Amino acid sequence: MKPRVRTKHFSNFSIIEVFGGTFALLVVLFVILNIFSEAQIQQRLAQTIEEGEYKISWEKGNEGYIVIAFPSYMLIVQQQKKVDLANICASNSAFVNYARQIYADKKKQIVFAIVENATLTMRAGRDCMRQIFPKKPLSIAWIIANNELLKSVSIDNFPAYIKQTIK
C-alpha cells in the first residue's frame, strides 16, 4: 500500500489563503489608524488655537493666514473649519468666505501648508480664488509640510498638537 502524499497544489493554496487573509487584516488596520490619526489632529487643533498658529507676519505689515491642505479636504486653521475637496469653491463654502475676508485687505494673503499627496487640494483652492477674484492680482504662498521640513525647523517652534504628531 502506498502512503498518501499531499499535492503541491493543495498546500500552495493554503499558504495563499493565510497570506491573503493577513494582508486584508493589515489593510483594514491601516485604514482604521489613518482615520483615528486625522481625528486626533482635528481634536488637537480645536484645543490649542492661538494667533501665532494661524498667522505669519513679515515685513511692511504683511500677513499670511495658514490653510492646511490635506489630500481630501482643506482645514482653515483660524476658523477651525474643514472643507471637503469637492466643496472648496461652492458659493456657501467656508473657504470662499475666508478668502473674501482675507483678500479684502491688500496686505493679507493665504498660505497653503501642503501635506503629502495634497497638491490637488491646494490647486483647487488656488483655482477657486482665481474664480472669485478674476481681475484682482493675487498673492498666494505655500509651504510643503513634509518630514524634511519638520526635521529642519526647531521642535520648540511647533504648537503642541504638531509636536505630539511628530513623536
* Mean pLDDT calculated for residue range 91-107: 92
Q: Which H or E run includes 83?
A: strand 81-84
Question: What one-character DSSP code corresponds to residue 2?
Answer: P
CA of 18: how far to CAs of 9, 21, 26, 57, in Å? Answer: 15, 5, 12, 56
Rounded Cα distance between 128 and 27, Å, is 35
Per-residue model confidence (pLDDT) at position 93: 94
Q: Is residue 142 part of a domain?
A: yes
Q: How many domains does the chain have?
A: 2
Q: Which pLDDT score, from 0 to 100, does residue 166 have?
A: 43
Domain presence at residue 63:
yes
Task: For helices 94-102 and 119-132, give the axis angle rounded to 10 degrees.
Answer: 60
Residues 30 and 58 in one domain: no
Given this model, what pLDDT does residue 132 score? 93
| pLDDT confidence band for 98 (50 / 70 / 90) | very high
- This prediction has a pTM of 0.60
Residues 34 and 110 in one domain: no
Q: Is residue 2 part of a domain?
A: no
Provide the residue range defining the domain that includes 82: 51-166
Burial state string for 110-121 with b = 16 or more CB within 10 A and e = fewer than 16: bbbbbbeebeeb
pLDDT at res. 1: 57
State which amino acid sits at residue 143: I
What digits encode the pLDDT tens for the residues 119-167? 999 999 999 999 999 988 888 888 887 766 655 555 455 555 555 444 4
User: What's residue 123's pLDDT?
Assistant: 94
pLDDT digits (tens, 9 = 90+) for 13-66: 677 777 777 888 888 887 787 777 776 766 665 555 565 567 777 777 888 888
Contact criterion met (CB below 8 Å) for 48 and 54: no
pLDDT of residue 131: 94
Q: Are residues 75 and 133 in the same domain?
A: yes
